[in-house]
Amino acid sequence: MNLGISATEFVSQAKEGALSVEEFVAKTLDRIKKIDEKIHAFITVDSQNALDKAKAIDKKIKSKEKTGICFGMPISLKDNICTAGLKTTCASKMLENFVAPYDATVTSRLKSEDAIILGKVNLDEFAMGSTTEFSYFGPTKNPWNPEYVPGGSSGGSGASVAALECLASLGSDTGGSVRSPASFCSVVGLKPTYGLISRYGLVSYANSIEQIGPVAKTVEDVAFLLNIISGHDVHDNTTVNHGHVDYVKDIKAGVSGKKIGIISQMIGDGIDKEVASATTSAISKLQDLGAECIPVSLDAVNHSVAAYYTIASAEASSNLSRYDNLRYGFDFSTEGYEFKAFISKARSNFGPEVTRRMLLGAFVLSAGYYGKYYLKAQKVRTMIKAQLDEAFKKVDYLISPTMPILPFKVGEKIDDPLKLYLTDINTVTANLSGIPAISVPFSMSSSGLPIGIQLFANSFQEKELLQAAHALQETSKLPEMSL
Ligand code: GLN
């Protein structure tokens, strides 16, 4: 049995009865047992429940009972997506033992289509980070070379899919957290349009810019998952009723006759040489397929990282005020403490990056600094959106490398927050503006590390975006995971 098959292949084999779901799940769980100590993608593995579900689904398939369209596909969920009865830790000491009383909308939609949730995967604490090193439970490693970071903050999602520990995963993307690990781990990751997917049951970090997004081996798999998890939700008023779209249908439409804008600000200074040459080669492959590629300048992008960290931290400082050991936390004893000491003791349990963000966020929102920082950042956000609106009058898609540099060594940048923040330079634009963006694995560096290419489309153009991503995916042959 080959654990390297795509989710779509798994579904078609399981549907035909050509594969035992129980055997596939058992083999996947064995693999997790064997290799996850090297990768540390998982925080919680729900083995028994997964096996029981697999058995039940096999039975349904055999007896030709109606089965959900996932047919027992084993998946992982980032550990900031709520699962009733299974811990949701956000990789924080604060929520070390937290069990949500309800399922996130994405969780219940996947369950009702007979996906099997194998477990919950690692992230930077509360999704704040770009490497998955800021997890209370320790870092996740890159399956292509465990000395290197897997990207972040959904590093567990990227690594678990790349290491064949599941067929697909859901992450969350506030500033690049689905696309960064997709790029560093050589898998596909989509940040959908703001409002396409319900955030009900996603633990909030910066809720005006974040979306849940699928991570999988292929673009078809991502489209398949999007069909299940997208759409209006009465529990989340920011979801848009966009009508029914089948993202899988016509995915092979290609890019012939399409116009693609190359974002000048994302391929210039500070970009790794091998990443730059991979991008040039991706562009020429798309041209070979009949697309016209032209340079596009978005100068507001020069301020995007500063604006992103101002807005995201401001929202984080407000969202995370609920972790006070009164409403949420882990130590509810109040004896012997007056209020301030109690709160400050509670909040000293956050890790250094979360603390930094909350302080920064409280600062940029405070009287006297609000206009100077927060308001200015919001103006940059408006400028970015306006420049993108102009660009999309001329082109169908935009292209850039997903990450400006190759995966780097675990620990290499951990003491330099600014260097880490700058790795988000190409991803935050999609979040600040709400548009969709996808990372497609494209090539490997001379040292064997993955390079991903990012494509953007206008809001709610996921169908077209996935078609272009599919075309790009078909141009490259990448090595198989050998771990
Ligand atoms: N790296 C960014 C940050 O640290 C993005 C995180 C995310 O998308 N959740 O905030």
Kindly give the number of the ligand 1 atom that is closest to the alpha carbon of 421: 1
Which pLDDT band holds residue 396 (cuts at 50, 70, 90)?
very high
Pairing of strands 397-401, 450-457: antiparallel
Please state, in angstroms and rounded to a whole number, the distance separating the CA atoms of residues 270 and 354: 27
Average pLDDT over residues 458-465: 98
Catalytic residue among 20, 53, 76, 78: 78
Q: Which CATH class is domain 7-255+439-474?
A: alpha beta
Per-residue pLDDT, averaged over 374-401, amounts to 98
CA atoms of 452 and 180, how far apart (whole Å): 9
Say if residue 306 is exposed, middle or buried (CB neighbours under 10 Å; 0-12, 13-18, 19+): middle
Residues with CB under 6 A from ligand 1: 127-130, 153, 172-177, 205, 312, 424
Domain boundaries, the chain: 7-255+439-474
**Half-sphere exposure of residue 107: CA atoms within 13 angstroms, side-chain side:** 25
Give percent of the chain with pLDDT exceeding 90.
93
CA of 100 to the centre of ligand 1 (A): 23
* d(CA 454, ligand 1 centre) in Å: 16
Tell me if residue 160 is catalytic.
Answer: no
Burial class (CB in 10 A: 0-12, 13-18, 19+), 237: exposed
Substitution site in 121, 126, 130, 420 for ligand 1 pocket (most atoms within 8 Å of beta carbon)? 130
Is 261's pLDDT higher than 80? yes
Residue 264 has pLDDT above 80, yes or no: yes
Specify the pTM.
Answer: 0.97
| Residue 457 backbone dihedrals phi, psi, to 5 degrees | -135, 175
How far is the C-alpha of 292 from the C-alpha of 307, rounded, in Å? 32
- Count of other CB atoms within 10 angstroms of residue 409: 12
pLDDT for 336 beyond 80 = no
Evaluate if residue 170 carries a pLDDT over 90. yes
Identify whether 20 is a catalytic site residue.
Answer: no
Query: What spacing in Å lies between the alpha carbon of 339 and ligand 1's midpoint?
Result: 32
Give the C-alpha distances (Å, rounded to integers) separating 93 from 125, 139, 383: 9, 14, 38
pLDDT for 158 beyond 80:
yes
153 is catalytic: yes
Q: What is the pLDDT of residue 342?
A: 86
Ligand 1 centroid vs 426 CA: distance in angstroms? 12
How high is the pLDDT of residue 330? 74
